[in-house]
Every structure is written in structure tokens, then in C-alpha cells.
A and B are shown apart, each in its own frame.
Chain A
Amino acid sequence: MNAAFLATLSLELLPAQLRDMVTGWLPEPWRWLVNSILAIAVILASFGLLFAYLTLAERKILGRVQNRPGPNRTGYFGLLQPFADGVKALTKEDIVPRGADHLLHFLAPVALLAFSIMTFAVLPFGRNLVAVELDAGVLYFFAAGAATELAVFMAGWASHNKYSLLAAMRALAQLISYELPLLLSFVPVIMIAGSLSTQEIVHRQSGWMFGFVPQWHVLTPWGFAGFAIFMTAALAESNRSPFDLPEAESELIAGHLTEYSGFKYALFFMAEYFGMCALCGMAVTLFLGGWQAPLPFLEFIPSYVWFATKMLTLLLGFIWVRCTFPRLRIDQLTRFAWKFLVPLALINLGTTAFWSLTSGWTGGLQIARWLVAIALVVIPFQLIGRKLSAGLGPRTYRYA
């Protein structure tokens, strides 16, 4: 072991050492409680800050894509913009419509935020950085995530506004439709890893093919398909463009957020970004090798840095998609889920079963295994995709 590796090791263990410094002197029965509170505080603080700067990054990137500078008046490069926005949201008047259900109107943003923060508990941020090591962590994650639908519907119903009501109807249709492909897309991972624990899933993706290719799930045919389906469904689950129908600005003003102002609106915003971060974090855990380095010689960089890098890359992908795509219509949105994503996810289960059964094949058979698996992914994708977009296509025009 050389000195560089030792230095890395100390960086790697830094969070744990800091925790022990704070709580080490406590008697054993108390340590668990204080450790949990500490974990909650750290997650809230770091993701709160990430949320703040993610909004800035989104506005900046959107601005650059659209030939404009984005926010640049508050602080250098607009770095203080998130705080200015926070102060603005806090000092604004909180308006509740007269006909609204006051309790539900208040409860909706709170519930949404609570459910989306709960999902962070099982995400493994680093080698030994997970708030709660649950044996059924993945299941817990998606159960907590699914509860956010309730909060969105609550907001739409309680607002006493027709646009909000339409948005609530859309939100339910959309979130329930996309829950299914989201859940089906990670079942293959559990089939291969044989565990519902997030840390266990990450450990199963360790090791190197040919000494330098990481054994992440996304680098297999079934894993790639699962990852693509997962990310598409995640876009819809987090109400992001092109699936931002519940808050479709062009027809429903702001959808379920129409009657929210001030800090309640900011809470919705925050919950949405938290949900996005959590889903990206889960995608990293399930498919992108979690906190593991992409190449052997990069292992000296601490694991939590890798996790953050991968998660931010996926988040930037979300922002990029938002810059580019228009919105789908609600019937097209549900059709896309039920007729395209769900069948593909189901076929992917079969592909994974094949992959799992043929894990003993070597040599020429190994190549055949890859080819069959790729065919099992690509052919259904092409066939179902063509069927779905039948009748659509570029047109040629005649001239008088």
C-alpha cells in the first residue's frame, strides 16, 4: 500500500470519522439515535444546497441553449440567485383561494416534500454512506416515491380551481401509468443481484471485465434496456418535460400549482427536484454501479464523489431533455406507457432470465449469448416502436 492509497483511504473514511468524532463519546444506546439525526441533517443540508444550485444550473443551461445568459445579476454568475429566490418566496403573501380546502391545501406541499425526502434514506451515497441499511431498500424507495402521487392529487383537488382539477386528473393518470414501467424496469436488476438491498446491488456490480471494463448493469443488453426504460419513466414520475403534463403551462397555466404562491410553491418545487435527485440516485445505484469508479486507476477518488458525479450527469441529462423536447398529449402519454414501455419491460424480464440462465457459457457461446440478448432487446423495440408511430412521419409537399 502506497501513501497515495492511504490518503485516499482517509478521504474515503472521512464522513465516518467525522460522525464518530461527534457521536463517539456518547453511550452506546444513544449513539444510534444521534447518528440517525445526524444523517437526516446531513442529507437535508446537502440536498437542500444541491436543490438550490440545481435550479440555478437549470436556468443557466436553459439560458445558454437559448442564446441568452440566464440569471447573472445576483452575485458572480448569478451564484446568489437561489438565495434571492428563497427570500422572495418566503416574503411573498401566501394566498389560499376562498373555496379551497384549507387543511388539504396546506398539507399537500408538506406531504409531497416529506415523501420525497424519505426516499433518500436508502440511497447508498458512498462505500459506507447509507442512512438506513434496509434489506428491502429498493422496495421501500419505490413505496415512498409512489406516495407522492397522492400529494399531487391533493393539491389539485384542494385548490378549488378548474385548471388544478384537470391537472390532478392528469397527474393520477400519468403517475399510475408510469409507476408500472418504473417498477418493471428494475426487476431484472433484482433477478441478477438476488437482493433488494441497495448496498448489496452496488456490491454485485463491482469487479472488472478484461481488467478495465466495469461490470455495471447498464453495460449488459438487459441492463441497458432497463436503464433506458427506467430513465424515461423517471422523467414522467418527476413531472419533467416532455412529460410535464400536470403543470402544462400552455393549457393549464401551472396545473396543480396554479393556486399556490410564496413558500408553498417553493416547497412543491423543492419536492420535485428532490424526487428528481432521488430517482437519478436510484438509477445510479441500480444500473450505473452506484458509488464505484468507472476505471480501475480512478479508484483513488472517494466513492461519494463518484456517486455525486454520476447523479449530476443524469440530472444534466434531464435538463438537456427539457431544453429540447415539446410536451406529449395525455392520451399519447398513457399510450406510450402501456403500449410501449410496459411490453418492453416485460420482454426485458425474459431477456434477463435468458442472461441469468446462460451465465455459464464461455468462448464462442459467450458471443452467441450477447448476440441473442441484444436481439431480444432491439427487435421488440423496433417492432413495437414502429407500430406505435404508424401513420406518423415526414411528409412531402407539392407546389402549385
Chain B
Amino acid sequence: MSANDFSPLAPQAGSHVREVHDPLHGELLEVSMGPHHPSTHGVFRMIVTLDGERVMKLKPVFGYLHRNHEKIAENTTYLGSMPYTDRLDYLCSMTNNWAYAIAVEKLSGQPVPERAEYVRVILAEITRLLNHTCLAGFLMQDCGCSGTPLMYAFREREKILDLFESLSGSRMMCNYQRFGGCRVDPSADWLDGARKLTDNYGRFLDEFETLLTGNEIIMARTQGVGALSPELAINAGVTGPMLRATGVNYDLRKVDAYGVYSRFDFRVPLGAHGDVYDRYMIRVLEMRESIKILQQALATIPAGPIMDPKAKLRGFRPKAGEAYGRIEGPKGEIGFYLVSDGSPNPYRYRVRPPSFVNLTVLEDMCLGQTIADAVIILGSVDIVLGEVDR
């Protein structure tokens, strides 16, 4: 079997994989990439079987960062889990908080004041900017840029983290949302800071795209690499930018129209090839749409209470029942499934982590590609091990 039998668009799996010690075709090389490796984005491990440079088999191994998140949450109060959700996807604590808050609010029928809904949208979209910017930087680092795009991305991330810090007191572990609102009311100064960030972000994106998007080497490295078919993406439950890069129009902000998203005018960019370049570009275009949402939300944010005055935080005991709350996180659908038996602790607590689900199609995307491609395909999936392993 020659290497040409593997077309990148239709990777063949399973039965076609050669034995490692094959006397007829020569030996394959088994490389254990990870758990400590410069570009597995944390303690992730890939057992890769290589024929020269070509990936013949790829086995993802994870669980090195397992912290028993779900079981711990079942043994603590509903509010007690809120700061712990920060640690799932430590880049996007604001959206994790919001997804959890929505699940609990559904469970207890807790309404949320309008101002809080606006603040949640603003923070979620700023988080999307933060996550997509970092992802683009990391992805380019995986492509072999010596840090320049990553440092540009981190310069912008710093501005966002400063905003988060001045609002919530913490840069990454924000612990900001509450059931029935938000913890603190953003001041007029803070909103001005957010407006300034929003107005300047487009210029940063232009600079970033000038450096990268039209670059011939980047196009050669990413176009046609790691293509994912829409059918496989839907069957595997892939969500977020990775699904939309395959051309499937599915954005929870439009589908569920949770919060106040129905009031804002924004579009959902869709890819056509589902390759790494599409995944990168979809994220860049999504950031431009996020800026539009932010501008509208910051211009129309109403006055009023940030917390529902009747909301109960201490001694919170929802009625027996179950609820699933989900939002469109930067990485995809982040959901929390809760079962209550009427006690202060959830009876069952389950996280639907987007990057864990998106990671399941890694081998299908990598077969027949080279080892260097496998690294950027993994980079384009956008995983955070805190969320994958929980």
C-alpha cells in the first residue's frame, strides 16, 4: 500500500492500518507525543504511528488533568461550584459561569434582570475575543512562527484580562456570575473601558490578518489540511467554530437565542472546506461579529439592578427536578446538566465540555496527514485540558 492511498479528504481508518512490525513493508515508528510536549496544549498525549512522516494511526490519551470535578460538585452547594467552573476552561471563565448559571436558573425558575443579561452578553463576547485571539496565536505558534503572532495575541489578551480584573477582582478565575444576575455592577468607567477595547479591537484584527491571513506559507500549511466532513462533524457532536467551518449553520446564539442575543444584529460566518484554514478564518470572522455585538450592547445597556432582589444565594435549595443549560461558548456548546433532589447539593452534575467532544474526531482528521499537520490540526481543535479532563 503506497502513501498515496490516503487522500486527505477521505482518511481510511481501522482495518487499513498496518502492523507496527511488518516484515514486508518495513517498520513503522511509534512516537508517544506527550504528555509533556511543547505543542499538545497541556498534558495531552497522542500515540502516533508513523510511516516516515505520515500518520498511520493516532491514539489520543487524556485524563492526566482529571480532578474529579463532577463528583466534587455533587458534594458541594450549588453556589459552591460556581468558582470551580472557572477552572474548566481557564481561558473562558465568564462563559463557563454563565452556562452554569443558566442551568441553575432553569432548574429553579429564577428570572434575571435586563441589565445583568446585557452584562452577560458583553462579558461572553469579550471572552470570545479573548479565546479566539489566543487560539489564533497558539495555532500560528504550532505552524512554526517564532512567537510573534502569539505575543501580539497576548498583548490584546492582557488588555482584556485587565478589564476582567477591574470588574471581578481576578484576571482568569473570575467567579462573576450568580443565579439571578451578576456579582458586581460594572461602573460607568468600566463600560467606557470596554467601549475603548471594542473600538480598538478591529484595528488589532487588521494588523493580525495583515501578518498572517494572506501569508503564502500559512495557506500552504493549513489549506486542505485536516478536513472534516459536515456529516462526520454532526455525527460526532462537534460544535462551535469547528462545526461552522464545515459549513453547518448551527450557532446557539441564533438557535436558542438565549439571554438577549435576539436583540442584536450579527451574522454567523460559515466555512466550506472544514480544514484548518477555515477553522482559523471562521474564528477571525466571528471576532469581527463579536465586535459588532459588543458595540450594540454597550450602546444600549439599560440601567437597573444587576441582581434579582428576590434571588437566594445562601441556603439555596431548588425543587426536585432536572435541567440542562447551554450556551454558545467560544469553543462550542458548553452545557451543564443538573438533577436536583431538593437538597442544597445537586444530585447529579454533568458538564458537556465542547473541546472534549470536538477532540473525539482528531484521529479521523489526522490519518494520512504528516506529523507536522497532526500538530496544527490539534491546535485548530482548540482544546483546554482543564475542560477535557475535568
Contacts and interface: CB of A to CB of B under 8 A. Distances in A.
A325 B267 contact: no
A330 B223 contact: no
Contacts, number: 129
B3 to A, nearest CB: 10
Interface string A300-336: 0000000000000000000000111111111110000
B174 interface: no
B146 A397 contact: no
Contacts of B152: 66-67
Interface string A356-400: 000000000000000000000000000000000101111101111
Given A250-B375, A389-B220, A392-B219, A400 B370 contact: no
Interface in A221-257: 241-242, 244, 248-251, 253
Nearest to B282: A397
Contact of A330 (B249, B251, B267, B370): B370
B188 interface: no
A169 interface: yes
Contacts of A326: 140, 143-145, 215, 217-218, 221
Given A162-B31, A329-B370, A397-B285, A392 B220 contact: yes
B52 A169 contact: yes
A125 interface: no
A163 interface: yes
B76 interface: no
Nearest to A392: B219
B39 A329 contact: no
B372 A251 contact: yes
Nearest to B251: A400
A62 interface: yes
A331 B53 CA distance: 9
B320 to A, nearest CB: 39
Interface string B361-386: 00000000011111110000000000
A60 to B, nearest CB: 14
A61 B152 CA distance: 15
A67 B285 CA distance: 25
Please tell me the size bucket of the interface on B: 35 or more
Given A251-B39, A253-B38, A389 B221 contact: no
B147 interface: yes
A22 interface: no
Contacts of A331: 53, 370
Given A253-B38, A394-B214, A400-B249, A322 B146 contact: yes
B343 to A, nearest CB: 43
A67 B155 contact: yes
Given A165-B29, A400-B254, A324 B269 contact: no
Contact of A400 (B30, B141, B144, B267): B267
B231 interface: no
B300 to A, nearest CB: 23
A171 to B, nearest CB: 13
A398 B216 contact: no
Nearest to A321: B146
A68 interface: yes
A37 interface: no
Contact of A399 (B140, B269, B373): B269
A166 B29 contact: yes
Nearest to A58: B146
B75 interface: no
Given A163-B31, A326-B215, A397 B143 contact: no
A391 B275 CA distance: 14
A319 to B, nearest CB: 10
A260 to B, nearest CB: 16
A65 interface: yes
Given A66-B147, A165-B29, A241-B144, A329 B372 contact: yes
Interface of B: 29-31, 33, 37-39, 50, 52-53, 140-148, 151-152, 155, 211, 213-221, 223-224, 249, 251, 254, 267-273, 277-278, 281-282, 285, 370-376
Nearest first, the 3 A-B pairs at minimum CB distance are: A327-B144, A66-B151, A326-B143
